Structure 1
C-alpha cells in the first residue's frame, strides 16, 4: 500500500474531473496500490469536482445565451415584435412547456396576457388578471419571483375563477413568474410553466430573473423610442398642418384682395369664380338657378339651409349664392391641386357672398328697368282710362311692342317666395309685375299652354316649391288683357280646391269654373242656398255630416256601398244620412233634372267652403 500517486495519474484525474464524458476512476487507479478508503475518497472528490465543473460550464452556456438574447432584443424597435421575440428567447432558455408575458396596466392595476408560446387554448391569450389575484399579482406586489409546483393547491395567493379556468384549460401545473422591472416600475410579468408538477431550482429562477432584467430594460427602451417616434411624427404632422394653414391663409388673403378689386372695379359673378379658381388652383363654375342638375341641386339645397359649402360628390363642393332667403345661383368647386380644408371652404363661402353682392348690384339696375315695365303692366290692367292712355307709345319707348304679346300667365306661389318668383319671371323678357297678390307675365308665345309650361318650369327651378301657372291668350293687350287676367286669377283661386297645387294649365281648360267664380259670385252663393239650403242648415245646427256624405254619394256613382267604403262608414249609416237628405230636399231630389242641379250645388258648396279657393295658396 502507498500514499503517493504518480504525477501522470494526478493529471489524468484532473482531466477526468473537467471532461464532458464520464471517466472510470477505478480504471485510472488500477496500477496504484491504494487502500479502499483512499480510493473511495479520491472518487468522491473527483465526482464533486466534476459536478462543479459541469455547473460552471452550464452557467457559462446560459450566460452566453443570455447575453446573445440581450444583444438580439436590443436591436428590435417594434414593441409587438419585441414582446414576441422576448417570450421566444425565454422559452428557449428555460425549456418549459409554456412561456408567456403579462403586461401590467398601472391605471387599472390589471395584468393582461400579451404574448404566449406553447399554449393551445385560444382563451389564454388576452387573459386579464384582476388586481390582487393569482400568482401574477403576487409577483407585481412583491416585485420578486414567485413560483408554485402545483397551482391547483397553491395557497400563497388568492385564486380567481376565471384565471383557474384558463390555467386548467391550458393544463398548466407548475408556474414560475418573475417581474419585468424598469427602475421601481413594474411593466409586466414573465412566466415559465410546465404541464407536470415541477420544483423550480434556484438556477432556473436566477436565470429567468436575469433574462427578465435585461428584457425589461430593452422593452422600456423600445417603448420610450416608440413614444419618442410618435411624438416626432405628431410634431411633423403639426408643423405640416401649420404650414398648410399658413399657405391656406395666404391664398385666402389673395382671394380677398382680388375680390375687393372686383367689387371696386365693377366686376361680375363669373369674374369672382375665375379669381377663386386661380387662388385655390381648382375649377370653379358659376351656376344660375336654371343650371342646377339634380346632384348639384341637392348640395345647393343643403348649402342654402346651412350657409356652408356642401359636398356634391366626386370631390366637388357647392355653395349657394344667397341674398337673404333668395337663391341667386351657386358656385361649384371641383377638387384640383389644393386639398379643400376648412380655410378653403370658408374662402369659397366668402366668395359666394361677394357674388351675391355683385348680383344684387346687377339686379338693382335690372329691377329699375323692370319696375318701369311693371308699371306698364299695371297701367294695362288698370280701370283708369288716364293710366291706359298712350300706354302703347310708352311701351315702345321701353322696347316692348304690345302688338307682339300673345299670352299672359298668372303665377301663384307661396307669399314668402313671391319676390323670388318675380325675379325668375324677368328672364322671360316680357313685362312682369304683380297684380291682385299674384305674379303676372306677358309673353310673345302664341300658345298659352306652352307659355304656362315654360313659366312653370322657370319659376319652379328658382323657388323649388309648388307653383301654379295659368295661361290665357290675348289678341289685343290693350283691349282684352284685363278680362283674360281676371279669368286666369279666378282659375288660380279655384285650382287648389280641385286638388291642384303644382301644375301648368290654361284658363280655357277650367272655363266652367272660372265662369262661375268670376264676377257674380254672390249669385252662385244664392243658387247653392236655394238648391241645398236645408242640408247646409241641418249640418250647421246639428254638427252633421250630410253635405260630405252627399258629395261622396254623388262622386261614387250613387252607390251606398262605395260611399260607405270611401267614408269608412257602415252602409246603414250612409243609408240613414241619405234618408235624412230626402226628408230635407224632398223625395224627388234624385230625379234627373233635380239631381243635376243638386250635383252642381254640392260641388259649388265644396269649392266655396275650401280655404284654398280664396286668397293665397
Structure 2
C-alpha cells in the first residue's frame, strides 16, 4: 500500500487534519493534541512548540465559537425585545435574557430617577427575598450608584469586603438575606442619559472575566436603546392620546357652545314673543336633553324621586346666594338653580341630567335660563297687575251707584271681548294675602274667557256664566286646590239689575262662615240666608234686638267677665240640661245652676217660657256670631 501523501511540511495530510480537529475540539473531547503529536516521532522541542501552537489555536477557536454563540443570543434577544412595546413587559424580558446569557444565579435591573438621583430595583430574575424587588438605593450608596455616576461597569468578587463604594445598611441587609456574594453592574445608557443599571450576581465568590463584562455591557447597550425607544413610543402614544382627549374636549366644548347659542336664541325669541316659564323649561330641556322641573316660590312642584325636600331647599338656598347651579349631593346628576329678580325670590329650576352630561357650559346655560324665567315672570306679573287694575276699575264701575257709570263699564267690558250678557253668577272669595296671586290666577282659569276677576275691598270677586252659584263656587275652589284654604261663596246674578245686592249677601255670608267653624268650603249664599239676613242691611236693627233681649246679661259680663253668655249658650245647645252643660264647660252642676239663677235674676223668672226662650236663643246665637265676625 502506498504511504499517505505528505504536505510541504513533511507531515502526512491525515496527521495535519487530526491536529486541526484536536485544536478545534472542546476541552473534554477525545482528540488531544499531545496524543496526536506523540505518534509522529518528532523531537521533544518540536513536539513542545507544536503543542503550544495547537493549544493557542484551540483557545482562539473556543473564543470565536463562544463569541458566535453570544452574538446569536444577542441577535435573538434583540428580535424579541424589538417586538415588545409595553415597558413593564420589556423590562421583564430584558432581565430574563440577561440572566440566561450570562448564566449567573441572579439578574436584576435598577431604574434611575434623574430628579432624586435614586435607583430602585424594578425587575428581578432568580431572587428569593421578598424585600429585593422595589429596593431603593440612595444617591452615592452601593455599587449601583458607582455604576450610574461613572457610567461604567463595576464589579466585586466579595460584596461584604467591597471598598470601592459606600455601603448602606438597608442594601447590605437585603443583599445578605438574598445570599449574594459577587456582583457585576453595567450601565444602561441612552446617549448621555443613564436609564438604569443592569446587574448579574452569584451566591458564591466569583471573579468576572472581561468576556463576561463585555457580554453584559453589550447586552445592556442594546437593551438600553430598545428600552429608550419603547419609552419614547409610550410617550408618543400618551401624547397622541392626550391630543385626542384634548380634541374630544374641544369638540364637546364647541358642541356645548352651539347648544348654548341655540338655547340663547330660543330664550330671546321667547322674551320677544311673550313666552312663559313652561316655554323656557321646554327649550332648556330640548337643548340639554334633560328633564326640567319648575318650582314656585314655595318650592312646590313634582319632587325628585331620590332627593328629599330638605336637600332641594338647601341647594336652592345656596343657588339663591351665589346665583350659580348647585348639585344635589344625595341625587347625582341633578342640579338646582334659583329664579331670582333682585331681592325677590320667584322659584327655581330643577334639572336632571339626561343624554348630555352637565359641564360648565351647561350650568351657565341653565343659569341664563333662570334669569330669562325671572324676566318673563316679572313681565307676566306686570301684565297681570295691569290687567287686574283695569278689571278692578270695571268692577268698581259696575258696582257704582250711577247707572250711567254701570252702563259705561259694561260697554268697556264688551270692548275687551267680555260678553257681560252671559254673566249669571257671582262668587266672592276670601283668601289670605300671601296666597292672593295664585288664587287670582286660579280664578281666571275657572271664570273662562267671558269671566271678570277683580279685587273689591278685602275680597276677590268673580263674575261668570255658570248658572248655578254653588257649582260656580265649587269650580273656583277646585281650581285653587287643596294647598290653600279658600272660602268661596256663590250668588245668583241677574243683570242688568243692580249687582250690589248679591255681592252684599255673598260678602255677608263670607263673614259668617268662619264663625260657624268653616274655613275651606264652597257654598251658595242662599244656603245661609238666615244668617246673612241678620248681618245684611238691617244689621243695626238686629243689634238693637239683641240688646233689648240680652242687655242685662251682656252688661253683667262686661263688668265682671264673660261667664253668663257662654253658660247660657251652652245651656241652650244642650237641651237645657245643667249636667250636660257642666260637662261641656268643664264645670260642676252646682256652678251651672248658680249662673242660671243669676240669669233669672237679671232677665226675670219667666225667661224660660217658650216664646221668650225662642227669642232668647236667637239673640244668644246672633251675639255669638257677632263676637266672631267682629
* TM-score clears 0.5: yes
Equivalent position of 1:67 in the other structure: 75
Shift of 1:405: 5.7
Equivalent position of 1:271 in the other structure: 279
Written as runs of structure 1 = structure 2, the 5 A alignment for 1:443-592 is: 458=483, 477-479=506-508
Equivalent position of 2:11 in the other structure: 5
Written as runs of structure 1 = structure 2, the 5 A alignment for 1:99-248 is: 99-248=107-256
State the SS of the aligned residue for 1:124.
coil
Matched, 1:19 2:25: yes
CA contact (8 A) 1:103 1:114 kept: yes
CA contact (8 A) 1:145 1:209 kept: yes
Give the direction of change, closer, same or farther, for the CA distance of 1:423–1:197 in structure 2 (3 Å limit): farther
Equivalent position of 2:345 in the other structure: 326
Give the direction of change, closer, same or farther, for the CA distance of 1:308–1:374 in structure 2 (3 Å limit): farther
Q: 2:64 aligns with which of 24, 46, 56?
A: 56
Give the direction of change, closer, same or farther, for the CA distance of 1:164–1:366 in structure 2 (3 Å limit): same
CA contact (8 A) 1:100 1:117 kept: yes
Give the aligned length: 471
Equivalent position of 1:583 in the other structure: none
Query: Normalising by the residue count of structure 2, what TM-score does the alignment of the two structures yield?
Result: 0.62
Q: Tell me, in whole angstroms, the C-alpha distance in 2 between the residues paired with 1:105 and 1:341.
A: 38
Shift of 1:207: 0.8
Over residues 428-452 of structure 1, what are the superposed CA-to-partner deviations in whole Å (9 max), with x where a residue is unaligned? Answer: 539898999xxx9899999xxxx99
Give the direction of change, closer, same or farther, for the CA distance of 1:297–1:406 in structure 2 (3 Å limit): farther
CA contact (8 A) 1:406 1:445 kept: no
Shift of 1:270: 3.0
CA contact (8 A) 1:179 1:186 kept: yes
Aligned CA RMSD, in angstroms, stands at 4.8
Please, which runs of 5 or more residues in structure 2 have no aligned partner? 1-8, 445-452, 463-468, 492-504, 518-556, 562-589, 592-630
Please, which runs of 5 or more residues in structure 1 have no aligned partner? 379-384, 412-417, 460-468, 489-522, 528-591, 594-617
Q: Tell me, in whole angstroms, the C-alpha distance in 2 between the residues paired with 1:148 and 1:434.
A: 109
Q: Tell me, in whole angstroms, the C-alpha distance in 2 between the residues paired with 1:42 and 1:155.
A: 45
Give the direction of change, closer, same or farther, for the CA distance of 1:474–1:264 in structure 2 (3 Å limit): closer
Written as runs of structure 1 = structure 2, the 5 A alignment for 1:365-404 is: 365-370=383-388
Equivalent position of 2:584 in the other structure: none
Matched, 1:87 2:95: yes
Q: Tell me, in whole angstroms, the C-alpha distance in 2 between the residues paired with 1:22 and 1:375.
A: 134
Shift of 1:136: 0.8
Give the direction of change, closer, same or farther, for the CA distance of 1:187–1:241 in structure 2 (3 Å limit): same
Structure with larger RCO (C-alpha < 8 A, sep 6+): 1
Shift of 1:330: 2.4
State the SS of the aligned residue for 2:483.
helix
Query: Normalising by the residue count of structure 1, what TM-score does the alignment of the two structures yield?
Result: 0.63
Written as runs of structure 1 = structure 2, the 5 A alignment for 1:294-443 is: 294-295=304-305, 298=309, 301=313, 302-303=315-316, 305-306=318-319, 307-311=323-327, 313=331, 315=333, 317-324=335-342, 325-330=344-349, 332-336=351-355, 338-370=356-388, 408-410=430-432, 422-429=436-443
For the pair shown, the structure with the greater C-alpha radius of gyration is: 2
CA contact (8 A) 1:402 1:477 kept: no
